[in-house]
Amino acid sequence: MSKKKNNSPEDGIFDSPARGDFSGGDQIISTEYSELMQKAYIDYAMSVIVSRALPDVRDGLKPVQRRTLYDMYELGIRSDRPYRKSARIVGDTMGKYHPHGDSSIYDSLVVMAQEFKKGLPLVDGHGNFGNIEGDGAAAMRYTEARLQKITEEAFLADLDKDVADFGPNFDETEKEPLVLPVRIPNFLINGSEGIAVGMATSTPPHNLAEVIDAELALLDDPDISTEKLMRLIPGPDFPTGGIIINKDDLPQIYETGQGKIRIRGKVETEKGRSGHINLVITEIPYTMVGAGIGKFLSDVAALAENKVTNDVIDITNQSSKEGIRIVIELRKDTDVENFKNLLYKKTRLEDTFGVNMLGILDGRPETLGLRGILEASADFQYEIAGRKYRTLLEKEQKKREIQEGLIQACNVIDLIIEILRGSRDRAMAKRCLVSGDTTGIRFRSDFSREMAAQLNFTEVQADAILDMRLYRLIGLEIEALMKEHEETVANIYRYEDILENRNAMTKVIRAELLSIKKKYGIPRRTQIIQGREAVFLAPDLNADRELVFVMDRFGYAKTMEPSLFSRNEAAVRETARFCFPCRSNGKICLFTKEGRLYTLRTADLPAGKMRDKGVPVDNVSNFDTTKEEILFAASQEALRLEKLVFVTESGMVKSVPGTEFDVSKKTVNATKLAEGDQLLFVSELKDALFIVLQSAGGFFLRYSVEEIPEQKKTAQGLRGIKLAAGDSVENVWLLSQGEKPVIETHGKEIDISKLKLSRRDGKGVRRF
């Protein structure tokens, strides 16, 4: 066989002695590295999205959960059998179905057994499976598990009736279900959380009884609206209880599948010792499960240590297996409502649950609303029922064929016995029963031979007759066979009706759902109300005092006590983008490149220590870091005493009195911009005498700040420098008396204080 030689790189195939002798037609394929990386990354991303991180909308399970449950089913670890070691389950699952390490499998098994994380636990755990306070489960060699009864009935039932598609496992030595035949909308009931590549899912858990009611309503009325469905599912039902306080936002969330749910813990008041007041937290937000409880306790202690409140005497965590109980002992004269509000604002007692109901549907990720999820589940129920009853129908039809053959055989049993006695082997007797072939068979009479020649049993019937035992000829046995045949015929009529009549199939699905609801439905745990838009603290609870505002380059902000800041000033300024004094009852102003002003209340920011990260400013204002960039920040109190200088990329300049920005709205326009223009520079004027503008083309212009026009925030300003076509302002400096900054640009050092003093709207001098 000749070997093709291509020496041109454009051909994509090289053959050179320097590369060795490639026999058997081996070729080196030349390809663009970026294209190869792109394809490889897309393949990896889709593998993570579809095969690991996101649940299937039909059964609400991720692959690792599905494989773990199926493996327990295969091992026979049922609810009525003894527990088995978790290590046995994990090892078997990893060896057969999920070759991604034992920790991911065991973590999945643990979560499916934790009642405080799953509204409907699917695994019955025995041993230390962790607790709500964040303590992890014991090692898998110490714990045991088995399936919950509902998992057997609603997740794994009828797998022997061809209700699920099976595919090869990772090494093609086993078969595994591609989706479990789940009878309930588990995607909603248990919810899910997962981070894939470029996308994430976060679906809150819901009440089983409510979800089933909504599914039944959808079966009755396929065109039902989301509004009507929400009369049955008013909102999520978290296993930790709590109170959802933004009821009015839920319709939009359930319509789009995305949004934010605000949830609070449940707080009660009790009489404490010596007349003190005990504030008792009996339910926590779902987002506090785990380490969040410890963080809450430390946050409350920090409020007392930092003198934010003087009302706290003691805080104890008295939680147990019976439930959450966190007791905060308060002074006798404490304003309880204001203290609650302080907890809501400064701790995670009120938190946000981000909703993004993303799942795999028809092999691709899709974000679905409430109705879309229920529709997908309903379609899946019809598919399961159709496959189940087609399998049952085939079995009953085969059974009827055998029964009819046996009944017919009983009517001519003497002839059949004569055929059996006259045949040399089974094959000869079977040919006679199936086709009436009497060749080689000895009969007592010609009449018997003629009767035998008329026999026409099917192959299946003939085998059943030949295998029939003599006791079946007893009269009672024949009567039982006749009765069994009647039941089989009735089943066939029923199954055919279910498969041919959608209403009949709907009745079957309804009956299964109602049965599950009756056996496993529980009352709602999470209360839903429409609370206040924001919580305002009473002025006397948090007296106005001086703080230091700190924001890093990632947009995380916090406040610090002045004494703490002064001890760590060098380290704080090293990592901070903005750092300045503010008032605890004041506001912070954020100016963006797009010319907008965002204000946020200082009270909304957490009081942080040196290493505390703070909160994203997005969470406490209307600002969105994904769409805009902060150019300048200052306290509203400081701006009242100053003027601000604005410079745009096109060279427009102006000064604006700081009182212009003493606004109550959270978002206003800080300046007017021409189309395509952006703010480049915003700063307090303070004691500056000169302004220096540098263009990208290398022109520098220095002139007195007195030439900067003072205008309103709604004005565009006047031209500060004449720019050539395509040029733009790149840097701006404000110079005070005696200030002589030297800058380095394009390999040159320039003392900008020695630049020629010019007038506004000049071209400037070129320095590079």
Most confidently modeled range among 30-39, 213-222, 271-280, 322-331:
213-222
Per residue in 536-562, pLDDT tens?
Answer: 444 444 467 889 999 998 888 999 988
Percentage of the residues of the chain whose pLDDT score is greater than 70: 93
- Taking residues 203-221, report their average pLDDT: 95
For the chain, what is the mean pLDDT? 88
Region label for 191, one of left (φ > 0), alpha (ψ between -120 and 50) or beta (otherwise): left
Closest Cα to residue 210, out of 528, 483, 675? Answer: 528
Per residue in 7-17, pLDDT tens?
Answer: 443 444 334 44
382 is catalytic: no
C-alpha–C-alpha distance, residues 140 and 513, integer Å: 35
- In the DSSP assignment, the letter for residue 445 is S
Per residue in 432-468, pLDDT tens?
Answer: 999 888 888 888 888 888 888 899 899 898 988 888 8
- What is the predicted pLDDT for the residue at 94? 95
User: Hey, how many other C-beta atoms are within 10 angstroms of the C-beta on 168?
Assistant: 10
How confident is residue 534, by pLDDT bands cut at 50, 70 and 90? very low
- What is the predicted pLDDT for the residue at 255? 95
DSSP-derived secondary structure for 121-169? --EEEES----TTSPPPPPTTT-EEEE-HHHHHHTSTTGGGT-S-EEE-
- In the DSSP assignment, the letter for residue 180 is -
Return the structure tokens found at 247.
């009821």
Return the structure tokens found at 385.
């029922």
- What is the predicted pLDDT for the residue at 536? 44
- What is the predicted pLDDT for the residue at 51? 64
Closest Cα to residue 50, out of 438, 461, 275, 362? Answer: 362
C-alpha–C-alpha distance, residues 600 and 590, integer Å: 8
- What is the predicted pLDDT for the residue at 292? 81
Higher pLDDT, 656 or 664: 656
C-alpha–C-alpha distance, residues 419 and 410, integer Å: 14
- What is the predicted pLDDT for the residue at 475? 65
- What is the predicted pLDDT for the residue at 24? 53
Per residue in 617-642, pLDDT tens?
Answer: 888 888 887 788 999 999 998 998 89
Lowest mean pLDDT segment, chosen from 44-53, 513-522, 709-718 = 44-53
User: What is the identity of the amino acid at 718?
Assistant: L
- Taking residues 373-393, report their average pLDDT: 95
From 142, 493, 520, 598, active-site residue: 142
Per residue in 227-265, pLDDT tens?
Answer: 999 999 999 999 999 999 999 999 999 999 999 999 999
C-alpha–C-alpha distance, residues 149 and 121, integer Å: 10
